[in-house]
Amino acid sequence: MMKEIVLFFAVLVAIVIGQANQPLNVVPYPQQVEMGSCNIPVTSILITSNIESTTFSVSMERYTNLFFPFNNVSNSEENDSSSITLEVTIYSDDETLQFGIDESYNLVIQEESYQIKTATIYGAMRALETFKQLITYNQLDNSYSIQCVSISDYPRYPWRGFMVDTARHFIPKNMILHMIDSLGFSKFNVLHWHIVDAVSFPVESTTYPNLTKGAFSPSAVFSHSDIEEVVAYAKTYGIRVIPEFDIPGHAAAWGIGYPELVATCPDYAANVNNIPLDISNPNTFTFLQNFFSEISPLFFDNYFHTGGDELVTGCWTEDPTILNWMTKMGFSTTDAFQYFENNLDNIMKSINRTKITWNDPIDYGVQLNPETLVQVWSSGSDLQGILNSGYKALVSFAWYLDKQVPDGKIHYEWQDTWQDFYAADPTVNITSNSNNILGGEATMWAEQINQVNWDVRVWPRAIGIAERLWSSQSINTVSLALPRIGQFTCDLSRRGIQSGPLFPDYCPMQDDLVFTMKPNIKLSNSEIKLILNK
């Protein structure tokens, strides 16, 4: 009881202080805020845009449906003085979505003028999310209003990713679309799709159809059309989808349909994660070339993740064929790993993709192509060395959502690990070359995760990561963030995301709210084609 009383007063104090220091209940917190003095009642909102765009039309429809969560409030009175028009001005109709796209926006709300101005549709999407969060609901008189404000906003980092693992547990397509909803609401802009690993190969291939013998079940497979729908749907949130096919380690699932691809090492085979590709076989590289040439066009992003982590080179040296090849070539295991990565670079070049790897090859002594983007899962000290070597890097080691103790700190309540994620700045203890950090990614490895518990394990803990990657470095006080994140997690739950509370409060919801693992908008086949081809 005493703990609850202390927590209640701590939250109350944080709310009072926060209203002075961070007056908007917006997550992630904007870069520049100038408060107005008016509070405008609103019953209906019409969004207009100066450009024609199927992609942005989906976003406008989405937020129009989200603005008023309580359907007992009228929002359709055409001549009501509290009906407003939100005018969106986008200065370019180019819908190209690649790394570094401009996501900045200006949002001005004042009496009789509601304006969003932005360079791209993706900045407009971020502005719509901010606008949505500015709408407040008053339970006492059953009304909505919006605060007058001027906001100039942009992300701190251009790469704000989330890794989803669909290999250790198959996650149905509709659940992935639902995940994209939650990531888009929090202004993440990359879905890192860890799609294949040692335990399963859930991706259809027309070139090598036996690969899906490595799936958990014939029904646990992503078709090409499934992938296209995921990529198109993500684009309506300004989210890039980057696949990861983890090689040369963690390759056992490749070998179920094509056993000639993988090494043979009985002493290591008890752990399926120990089985790597057989890189002594030239046909392995032909296979990878053909397969990646088939798969890469489904993902329009310039980046392609090839894993590279946790390679067990002892399996190579136990396989007589591979060991004889290494001896003939005069290769150590590091040389063999280098040989693989060099060949993989040639494949990536042929499909016009930039390679991403985990930091393991560098730890093993491999010299990667200087253009390689390195995702660091191990430690800040490894990150510093990688930055000093001239590589561009992504930070992940501080944001493993599958961990109970992500940063060595133990909390009485597990959800409070959000504070550790929030406090983990990418540049902490980095003394040089921090400009080589492109951003970071949260990771949710799926050994104990599937569509049943994904939401409640990720949210609201990941909200802290979203703000750390978007907001100014100076926005870093847990006590000030807590009331804002508390309100946002309530808002997410009203949108159908099972994001729970962080402190005692009341989150009003519709009585008939049902959590469904489905996207909030269903794209038609024609919309998918238009979005992907724009």
181 & 98 share domain: no
225 & 335 share domain: yes
179 & 74 share domain: no
In a domain, 418, yes or no: yes
Of 97, 118, 153, at which residue does a domain stop?
A: 153
Which pLDDT score, from 0 to 100, does residue 19 have? 52
- Nearest one of 27, 42, 125 to 462, comparing CA atoms: 27
147 & 166 share domain: no
- If one compares 349 and 409, the residue with the highest pLDDT of the two is 349
| Positive or negative: CA dihedral 325, 327, 329, 333 | positive
Coil, strand, or helix at residue 192? strand
In a domain, 315, yes or no: yes
- Give the CATH number for residue 40: 3.30.379.10
Which pLDDT score, from 0 to 100, does residue 406 have? 83
Predicted confidence (pLDDT) per residue in 189-232, tens digit: 999 999 999 999 999 999 999 999 999 999 999 999 999 999 99
69 & 195 share domain: no
pLDDT of residue 339 exceeding 80: yes
CB atoms closer than 10 angstroms to residue 63:
18
Give the model's confidence band at 21: pLDDT under 50 very low, under 70 low, under 90 confident, else very high.
confident
Catalytic residue among 61, 87, 294, 310: 310
Give the model's confidence band at 20: pLDDT under 50 very low, under 70 low, under 90 confident, else very high.
low
CA of 494: how far to CAs of 67, 178, 182, 459, in Å? 11, 14, 12, 13
In a domain, 27, yes or no: no
Coil, strand, or helix at residue 126? helix
Of 96, 126, 153, at which residue does a domain stop?
A: 153
- Residue 64 lies in domain: 32-153
What is the share, in percent, of the chain residues with pLDDT greater than 90? 87
Q: Are strands 240-247 and 303-307 parallel, antiparallel or unpaired?
A: parallel
Lowest mean pLDDT among 193-197, 316-320, 509-513: 509-513
- Nearest one of 315, 295, 281, 145 to 228, comparing CA atoms: 295
238 & 115 share domain: no
pLDDT of residue 2 exceeding 70: no
Quote the CA–CA distance of 436 and 418 in Å, as a whole number. Answer: 26
275 & 145 share domain: no
173 & 300 share domain: yes
In a domain, 496, yes or no: no
Which pLDDT score, from 0 to 100, does residue 18 have? 47
175 & 65 share domain: no
104-131: average pLDDT: 97
326-355: average pLDDT: 98
182 & 117 share domain: no
- Give the CATH number for residue 215: 3.20.20.80
Predicted confidence (pLDDT) per residue in 461-477, tens digit: 999 999 999 999 999 99
Quote the CA–CA distance of 202 and 222 in Å, as a whole number. Answer: 6
- Any idea what the Cα angle at residue 255 is, between residues 249 and 260, rounded to 5°? 105
In a domain, 19, yes or no: no
What lies within 8 Å, CB to CB, of 129 at 6+ separation is 63, 184, 185, 187
Quote the CA–CA distance of 478 and 482 in Å, as a whole number. Answer: 6
Give the model's confidence band at 401: pLDDT under 50 very low, under 70 low, under 90 confident, else very high.
very high
Quote the CA–CA distance of 393 and 409 in Å, as a whole number. Answer: 26
Could you say which DSSP state residue 432 is in?
Answer: S
206 CB-contact burial (10 Å; exposed 0-12 / middle 13-18 / buried 19+): exposed
Query: pTM to 2 decimals?
Result: 0.94
Summary mean pLDDT of the chain: 93
Task: Examine the residue annotation and report whether 310 is marked as an active-site residue of this protein.
Answer: yes
In a domain, 519, yes or no: no
> Total domain count for the chain?
2
Which pLDDT score, from 0 to 100, does residue 407 have? 79
Cα-trace Rg, the chain: 24
Of 136, 153, 170, at which residue does a domain stop?
A: 153
- Nearest one of 67, 187, 174, 80 to 126, comparing CA atoms: 187
- Nearest one of 248, 245, 252, 244 to 271, comparing CA atoms: 252
224 & 124 share domain: no
Which pLDDT score, from 0 to 100, does residue 371 have? 97
In a domain, 489, yes or no: no
In a domain, 347, yes or no: yes
Which pLDDT score, from 0 to 100, does residue 70 have? 86
CB atoms closer than 10 angstroms to residue 372:
22
Quote the CA–CA distance of 275 and 289 in Å, as a whole number. Answer: 20
Quote the CA–CA distance of 124 and 120 in Å, as a whole number. Answer: 7
Quote the CA–CA distance of 415 and 270 in Å, as a whole number. Answer: 35
327 & 349 share domain: yes
